[in-house]
Structure 1
Amino acid sequence: MSAAPDSGTLASDAPVPFSLRLVSPAQWGLLTVTFLMWAGFFLIIPLVTVHFVGNLGWAASAVGTVLGVRQLAQQGLTVFGGAWADRVGPRQLILWGCVLRAVGFAGMAFSETFVALLLSGLVAGAGGALFDAPKSAALTALTRPEHRTQLFSLLSISGNLGMVLGPLMGAAMIGLGFTASALISASAYLVCWLILQLTLPAVQPAQEGGGGFSGLRRAVQDRRFVNLTLALIGYFLLSSQLNVAVTLKAVDLAGTGATGPLYALNAGLAVALQYPLLRWAETRFRARTILTAAVTLVAVSLGLMGFAHSFPLLLGCTALYSLGTMLVFPTQQTLVSRLAPPELLGSYFGFSAISLGVGGALGNVLGGSLVDFGAALGQPQLPWLLLMATGFLTVFALRWALKEVPRADPQR
């Protein structure tokens, strides 16, 4: 996959220190739409449960099924969205993904039956699958190798900022009604479509390599890449606990109002500290060291949560947890881009989503079950110690998987 001449990439191969002045219009466009996508998503998704369960009296299991199907559709189809991008280029897929996501959320605004809501969720999930991996592939193709970690960090910050503001916007719009809120959320993706139409160049797929299923076949046959993807399943099992075990503990300690400060702290720290912390770390350590240290910090913080007997102590542990998680995403994306052949960026980024899909699903299932298991045994710390042990096993697996991953700089 190669960038078009007007992509903003630099022709010279000589290393250039990163500066925000070097961020091209295409890169700014991708960062901006990432913020809008996350803000639009978190504006409406919490209101789906509030509206259909709280206002209309639907069964919580029915709404949970819709949300679960949406996530499965997105994570499952992302593999193919990435492979498709290698064949046709990421631009059109991202644009069509924005349209489908807008249609899906607009459909939710007018859903009056379970089937209608389920279909809307499927369309929204398919839209996410079309723009998720292609967006990472496009940013990689448009960015010099030595600047990719910084750009992926900025991408993550944009998403976290949207995750902070989205729920606040949703809460402010409750008075407008669910229909209006859903349509506003859908319109955010149409704005994304317009921004990308104006800023994102045609990132051409390489003529060799083929992409499509042949690209996925090559990714599956890449032992180093598959090992890294499998090892990261353990991390995503841990990272999903913010929505499961950590939330349950926060509510137990401080009531339902605790979720706001909990999520605000997690996302707020990422917005404020992720970029400077990553810049500091990458000038001193190799990517593999940063990744394993970050996962270790996540594991230790989860273990400490088992002994947090007050909400302020839990928030302190959450701060440590956030410091770890904010380093993982840009480092993981950088390692994937380092392993992926230029003509198969979409296939590799798409396949790497398997770790998030499988790990997130396992984390959602096991998190609550472990909490119940510990309570039944009268050992409330046990689930947290088991999560910490899972983190240590993940670090061991990552150290093994990363042994053969090439360094970006032989001096580091």
Structure 2
Amino acid sequence: MSASVSTRRQALTRFSVLPPVARMLVGTQLLFNIGFFLVLPYLAGHLTGDLALAGWVVGLVLGLRTFSQQGLFLVGGTLTDRFGAKPVILAGCVVRVGGFVLLAVSGTLPGVLAGAVLTGFAGALFSPAVEASLAREAGPELRATAFALLAICGEAGAVVGPLLGALVLTDFALACWIAAGLFVLIAAGHVVLLPHRAGEHRNEPVLAGWREVLRNRVFVVFAVAYSGYLVSYNQLYLALPSELRGATGDEAALGWLFALASVMVVVGQMPTTVFARRVLGPGRAVVAGFALMAAAFGVVAVPLPGLVPAILMVVLLTAGQMLAVPFAQERVPVLAGERRLGAHFGFLSSVGGVAVLIGSTASGALLGLGPVAWLVLALVPLGSAVALAVLFAR
């Protein structure tokens, strides 16, 4: 039996042990990411090429898009705790359709900025709802497996999305219209398939959840350290296209590099998670993952030929993500005391959104400085690795 067949069977076996609603949440992540990645990897090229915006403006737009998603996750998580996951997920789908339509029809900075912000806010609504629901449905014993499978399905969608986007790369608006149509179908599917479970904190004041999260000092430190992952991952949309343009003169390899990252996760995520739990343990796996993310930027500062730096960046960044993210997400309900999971998952991403807004604007301005920019980027996940090592050693 080949390794790839064995890996697929292993993933399917683990998928089957999840409760039915958890399987549905994991499976629909495939469609979410097809629609998302059909557009987003090519947004920076649209802004610089079609709209001729300056590098710092492009970084600001991408940062605001991420901030409107990650930075407002706390809002989506709080709404999930109060109203339940289903209405929040459906609202997010509707808002994302509106964002894609605006990106398709707008030819000016204000219109594109509004579309990018709406597209991001949509994720702020449905992503924490999905994560909190998945943590509840999977239970403590299956959480790392469920989040690893969520990553596999998400990355499978991320394989298809950029490749579809590459087919229509000459028409950015067409890609946006296709993505909008797909999210209409996703919303219709959730209306039918997703059961409605009332929010566990529907009778409590909205801000009570925020106060509870902010009083959890260990979790706040964890969230700040984890934000280094989101800053690093966001560089796939800003720093990676810049590196490709400098090395080859265009972004033709972007879709294939995104596909490489996605294939790594689809094929390797489950074996990596199993290996890391047995050999490293959850805490060391998270720290090692962030160290690999730091190395991903460090190698680009080294003079290497052609596409080698870009390929190494993608491989190391993805490997770090595969090691760290499932165990970091598994840790959230534990640090939250199994309460207000929507608010805690939301806060985790909101802190990351603030960090990405600052980091994207800064990196957009730094990328013209050559190796110095990559070394500065490497310091972000390296600092996170040190902080998380101290936290997990407690």
> TM tier, shorter chain?
0.7 to 0.9
Identify which of 346, 352, 356 aligns with 1:356. Answer: 352
The alpha-carbon deviation at position 46 of structure 1 amounts to 4.8
Equivalent residue number for residue 316 of structure 2: 320
Question: How big is each residue's C-alpha offset from its partner over 1:49-80, in whole Å with a ceiling of 9 and x where there is no partner?
Answer: 666775xx544257776554433322232211
Choose 324-333 or 25-34, whichever is displaced more.
Answer: 25-34
- 8 Å CA contact 1:153, 1:278 repeated in 2: yes
Which range moved further: 267-276 or 212-221? 267-276
Q: Of the candidates 247, 257, 264, which is equivalent to residue 262 of structure 1?
A: 257
The code of the aligned residue for 1:195 comes to G
8 Å Cα contact 1:34/1:159 also seen in 2: yes
Tell me, yes or no, if the aligned pair for 2:82 and 2:202 is still in contact at 8 Å. no
Offset, 1:228:
0.3
CA shift for structure 1 position 131? 0.5
Q: How many angstroms apart in 2 are the aligned matches of 1:240 and 1:124?
A: 15
Paired residues of 1:291 and 1:327 also in contact (CA < 8 A): yes
Instruction: Tell me if structure 2 keeps the 8 A contact 1:236–1:355.
Output: no
Letter in 2 for 1:393: G
Mapped contact 1:37–1:192 kept (Cα < 8 A): yes
CA–CA separation in structure 1 for the residues paired with 2:182 and 2:20: 19
Relative to the length of structure 1, the TM-score reads 0.81
Offset at 1:350? Answer: 0.5
Match of 1:367 among 360, 363, 369: 363
- TM-fit CA distance, 1:383: 4.0
1:296 aligned onto 2:291:
yes
**Greater RCO, CA 8 A, separation 6+:** 2
Q: Following the alignment from structure 1 to structure 2, what is the Cα–Cα distance between the partners of residues 112 and 251? A: 23
Counterpart CA distance in 1 for 2:165 and 2:67 is 24
Alignment check: 8 A CA contact 2:26 2:149 kept:
yes
Give 2:5's aligned residue: none
Mapped contact 2:152–2:269 kept (Cα < 8 A) = yes
Secondary structure in 1 aligned to 2:280? coil
- Conserved? CA contact 2:39–2:176, under 8 Å: yes
Secondary structure at the residue paired with 2:340? Answer: helix
Whether the 8 Å CA contact 1:86–1:343 is kept in 2: the answer is no
CA shift, 1:130, in A, is 1.0
Q: Is the 8 A contact 2:44 2:237 kept in 1?
A: no
Alignment of 1:205-244 (within 5 A): 205-207=199-201, 210=204, 212-244=206-238
Partner of 1:129: 124
**In 2, distance between residues paired with 1:166 and 1:295?**
26
Q: How far apart, CA to CA, are the structure 2 residues paired with 1:174 and 1:239? A: 22
Match 1:33 to one of 25, 28, 31? 28
Tell whether the 8 Å contact from 1:86 to 1:211 is kept in structure 2 after alignment: no
1:10-409 superposed matches below 5 A: 19-46=14-41, 54=49, 58-60=51-53, 67-111=62-106, 115-173=110-168, 178-207=172-201, 210=204, 212-256=206-250, 257-311=252-306, 313-314=308-309, 315-316=311-312, 318-373=314-369, 375=370, 380=371, 382-404=372-394
Unmatched 5+ stretches in structure 2:
1-12
Counting matched residue pairs gives: 378
* Structure 1 partner of 2:4: none
Q: Could you tell me whether the CA contact under 8 Å between 1:108 and 1:117 is conserved in 2? A: yes
Structure 1 runs not aligned, ≥5 long: 1-17, 405-412
Closer, same or farther in 2 for the Cα pair 1:334/1:240, shift >3 Å? same
Provide the alpha-carbon RMSD of the alignment.
2.9
The residue that corresponds to 1:409 in the other structure is none
Deviation at 1:293, TM superposition (A): 1.1
Query: How far did 1:43 drift?
Result: 1.5
Q: Which has the higher mean CA deviation after the structures are superposed, 81-90 or 256-265?
A: 256-265
Structure 1 residues 201, 133: CA separation in 2 closer, same or farther (over 3 Å shift)? same
Determine the C-alpha separation between the residues in 2 that align with 1:240 and 1:170.
18
Deviations 1:60-105 (A, max 9, x none): 2577765544333222322111112111112210111112212322
Letter of the aligned partner of 1:253 in structure 2?
A
Cα distance, 1:144 vs structure 2: 1.9
Q: Shift of residue 294 of structure 1?
A: 0.9
Counterparts of 2:28 and 2:330, CA distance in 1: 20
The more displaced of 312-321 and 332-341 is 312-321
Q: CA deviation at 1:229?
A: 0.7
Q: 1:300 to 1:116 in 2, by over 3 A?
A: closer
**SS of residue matched to 1:311:** coil
**TM-superposed deviation, 1:313:** 3.6
Write the distance in 1 (CA, Å) between the matches of 2:239 and 2:61.
22
**% identity of equivalent residues:** 30
Scaled by the length of structure 2, the TM-score of the pair is 0.84
Moved more, 32-41 or 316-325: 316-325
**Could you tell me how far apart the structure 2 residues matched to 1:88 and 1:208 are?**
6
